[in-house]
Structure 1
Amino acid sequence: MRSGILLALVAAGFLLAPIASALATDMKDVVQPRETVIASLDGIVMNYLTRDNMKIYKQNSPTQVPFEGGIVPINGRYYFWFNAPTPPNTEQNYTLVIENILTVVNGQRVMVDFTKNFKVAGSVAHYSLNPGVVLAASDFSIYARLNTGIPETIEVDFPSSRQVLLYPGNNRIDFSIASLSGVNTLTINVGSYAVPALIYAPEQQGQSGGNDSSGGGGTDSGAGGSGGTGSGGTGGTGGQGNETGGTGGSGGAGGSGTGNETGSAGGGGGTGGTGTGGQGNGNGGTGGSGTGNETG
């Protein structure tokens, strides 16, 4: 008999589990007045939710309570935020309702309302944020409302660590996304709050690589050297020294040119060795060849 009851309870547990776990939240049960509540809605959500889906009621009452808030999808998960109301007394129970959520229960697609009861109690939070979840595609701002009469310094860690001095009332904190590229999922710490953020930043343009064309052939071709005794000077492209005459030395071979260049003029022809008044003539040939000729 007892085993039968146990089996029935286990079966009931399995049947109820999908209903109980269809949607859930990590929201706190007790918050401060004016505290920015930031939490996630976990589970299967098949439709797009907006601020219009969110309502706050006094618990067990049809009376709606005005509030600042919003709900944003980030990587397939919804994050919502709202600034807690200030109760008329020291504490007050409220109910958050997220309406008209298309989800799956027991394998069936159903439209449900998600509810979360919470209590507002304690001292007023020092400051509140708006928004508490960020979806941005350009530089953006978060407003921090200081709820006390004394300025207060808070730490902010995006895009880099810095201190921000808050004054009583609204304070705008600006954020640049210049250091980001592509799709970024971040948690931005603003004082005591951890703000979920989804940021679409422009792709960074890489530097274009230089196109190095190889240079032309070297520009230096050997200038024709001075003709040695009885030798022709160095031509641009292998000129050949020729001599006619008695004892004049043989002309030196011309130097080779480099690359696609035109060789320099051939060197002067060598001075006739022992010939009588021999005269060397160097002529730069086309394409850098020089021919040294001398007459003995």
Structure 2
Amino acid sequence: MDQSLLVFVTVAEKKNFSRAAEELHMTQPAVSQYIQTLERAIGAKLLERSNKFVRLNKAGEIVYHHAKEILGIYTRMQCLVDDIMHTASGTLSIGASYTFGEYLLPHVIAYLHKEYPLIKPNITIANTKEIAEFVLAHQLDVGVVEGGLHQEKLYIEPFAEDRMYIVASAHHPYAQKKQLLPSDLSKETWIVREVGSGTREATEKMFATLDFYPSNMMEFGSTQIIKESVEAGLGITLLSYWAIRKEIATGSMMALNIEKLPITRQFSWVTQATPFHTKATEVFLDVLRNNKNLPVFSEAEF
């Protein structure tokens, strides 16, 4: 591995030569020397320096992006070689979209920790589009996303079904109605996720299925904020069963009774399109494939 790339990435992320030297167990002059060597090899200055900060310039941003990808590939290669002689162990970089990441992934990680204590998960939570981009850039070993992701350069495999319901505050006038029409919903304030989210994709498909589009929408970047807003009576939303089951159980939110619901979609895992995975990754995929330690869906709650 090119040590100068590792040093450069560390300086860029720490934004300080001294902190980078401490992280790498080097002297500050040694860190400076590695940066100078890299800049001479690239043929451009990569960092802007002052007494108060160190930050990337335009050339530095390009080098940083590709250096992260190169280091990720090298680390993965080393892990694959190490796996030949060892059991599943080491860092496993997992990315997950919000619904799976916040409500189901913790159960999977608990199982991994119990059964494979040498695996050290590193978790990133982002929307579906971002998780796919991180996997493609070798910044994640595996991603778990929801909805219809299409990316030719990645391997995508569905492994579980997710059901989604329209929910409102228990105090909303629609909460006590036995049956609602799509025309009723079009008049409501809808609280939706951002573009790029699997939940937003499902919501847009639902609007098309029910043949209406709301005139009043609020876009939030977090499922938790959406739930709090719905409970406060700000509007209604479409969310996964897994995200709302506790609120349904306590009675703070109600699933609305509408024809053609619930909406169903798939949870899928995403990896590089390669037959080679670390043992830690293979173990994680096996856990997903066999639904080990995932909570059990219970439609009776609704």
- TM-score after normalising by structure 1: 0.18
Q: Give the structure with higher Rg (CA).
A: 1
- TM-score after normalising by structure 2: 0.18
The structure with more strand, counted as a fraction of residues: 1
The structure with more helix, counted as a fraction of residues: 2
